[in-house]
Amino acid sequence: MAEQHVLLAGSKRPIKSDARRVRDAGAQDNVGVTISLRGAGINKNPEQRRADADKTKAVLERFGLRTTDESKLPQGSLGMNGTVEAMNKAFQTSLGIYHSDRQGDFRGREGELKIPAELKEIVTGVFGLDQRRMARRAAFAGTGSFGSLTPADLEKRYNFPNGDGRGQQVGIAEFGGGYLDADTETFSTKHNLPQAQVRIVELGYSPPRSWQEIQQLPLQEQNAVKAVLPEVMMDVQIVAGLAPAAQISVYFTSWDQKGWIDLLDQALQDKPVALSISYGLSEDAPDWADVAITEIEKRLSAAAELGITVCASSGDDGSGDQMTDGRCHVNYPAASPSVLSVGGTMINGTDEEAWWVAPGERAGGGGATGGGVSVVFDRPTWQQNVQVPSLNQGAKPGRVVPDVAALAGPPYYDLILHGRPKPNGGTSASAPLWAALITRINALLPADKQQRFLTPLLYQNGRHGSFRDISIGHDNASFPLPGVGYPVQKGYDACTGQGVPDATALLTALQ
């Protein structure tokens, strides 16, 4: 008797816009998936979670899948492996090999997934069948070292309180790339800081740890690692420079939707004070499966409930966020109500202003702080006093991005890559700055005020002195599309949020 299947809600995916199917995936090729179970996030019903996992394993093993990882079961995830043939039968799909000029060859799918009827309402997501990239870097490379800001410069500019983050854990999300231990050591030595306590966490991806290891990779893999390497080293060195005694957990994951789920499951398990995410994609990019946003949101909401402040960069492509439909867009996960969305500034002479370098997006050699009004997420209660209308005609008053800001543009951050100065920036830099700041502040708070999701608290009355308003600069329009942007103004705006931190005042406000 044939197995009965039902649709998995929200699983529909179009073909990737710049890709074409070139052949069927090899029937005996191995595939690893993360199965998301109902109630994912915080384990509030261990008995049901165990029963759901046992039933899921029993049903899917009939199709030839095998369980490989139950370590994230408390977060609602189950790791399983199987052949392409087994996955096609279990989830009623047709896995293929696709080619994209940007990504090269990757395994993918089109259409909806189906799950065995016995698992209806138990299995809520299946991730890893499709390996298309669902994140992009937000790094923006500087052109020289003169004038770039050191950790001491940043501490002074943003009035950091004394401290070093001792006893705290901060997380950093990385999609691919590598990690050069020697560069972080050189950076810390250069700035007279203790050596950083870096913990590399491999989540389906093993980063090369030296330049020699990178050079031994096949050329295509070398190029892929080199493209992301400046991002990784920037994230780690910014945190190491501003919270040098904290434990820095660097989560290396895959670029696909599975990578997002695996990353957040691990963060929920580790419970860092802050998690920096310098990657994202437009919230309404067609490559997202609806179920992916739903399942990621479950985990971000759980992180907020556990007191993890996820610092997400608002993007480096202004109001268009690399979309080409002529409308304004915001980056995800920065648009989530369960994160602290971080925009960018630059320094022009003695003034700090909203970051915008013509033409307002990276493809043209410029860049600008992401920001705007979400079309996916409603405006949260703690933003009800924010008066920023959407520039998209007929759009709802959604969640406004960003919440706060920090340096992203010129003169950039003083960093080390391959043993040499390599300034870098972007909102990719402002996010780890905020993660380090929160980590450092948390170490100085009384025990009953530690480990809190800070975003709603930053909007409460009486905390306005915690920020320095950024009220000058170009709007965040990206050209040629959409050609309009959100204005910079006194008070809150959709370029720099509430402004840049006065960290000592923020510490006082949070006590």
428 flagged as catalytic = yes
Find, among 149, 194, 203, the residue nearest to 172 by Cα: 203
Q: Which residues contact 128 (CB under 8 A, 6 or more apart)?
A: 31, 32, 33, 34, 256, 257, 258
Question: Judging by DSSP bridges, how do beta strands 367-368 and 356-357 pair with one another?
Answer: antiparallel
Tokens standing for 304? 């907020």
* Ramachandran angles phi, psi of 17, nearest 5°: -60, -35
Find, among 437, 442, 408, the residue nearest to 425 by Cα: 408
Catalytic residue among 428, 430, 466, 478: 428
Q: Which residues pair with 247 in a beta bridge?
A: 169, 197
3 state SS of 152: helix
DSSP 319: G
Give exposure, 206-218, as e/b (b: 16+ Cβ within 10 Å): ebbeebeebeeee
CA–CA dist 8, 125 (Å, integer): 7
Q: Which residues contact 4 (CB under 8 A, 6 or more apart)?
A: 116, 117
Tokens standing for 163? 């401290």
CA–CA dist 279, 174 (Å, integer): 8
CA–CA dist 310, 296 (Å, integer): 12
DSSP 452: -
CA–CA dist 154, 118 (Å, integer): 56
Find, among 370, 292, 313, 294, the residue nearest to 133 by Cα: 292
* Opening angle at CA 340, ends 335 and 344, nearest 5: 85
Tokens standing for 410? 């010129």
DSSP 65: -
Question: Distance from first CA to last CA of the chain, Å, rounded?
Answer: 64
Q: Which residues contact 401 (CB under 8 A, 6 or more apart)?
A: 314, 330, 331, 334, 335, 341, 343, 370, 371, 372, 373, 374, 494, 497
Q: Are 34 and 263 in contact (CB under 8 A)?
A: no
Q: Is the dihedral of CA 201, 135, 85, 207 positive or negative?
A: negative
Catalytic residue among 231, 287, 317, 403: 231
Catalytic residue among 52, 130, 183, 235: 235
Q: How many CA atoms are closer than 13 Å to the CA of 288, on its beta-carbon side?
A: 20
Catalytic residues: 231, 235, 428
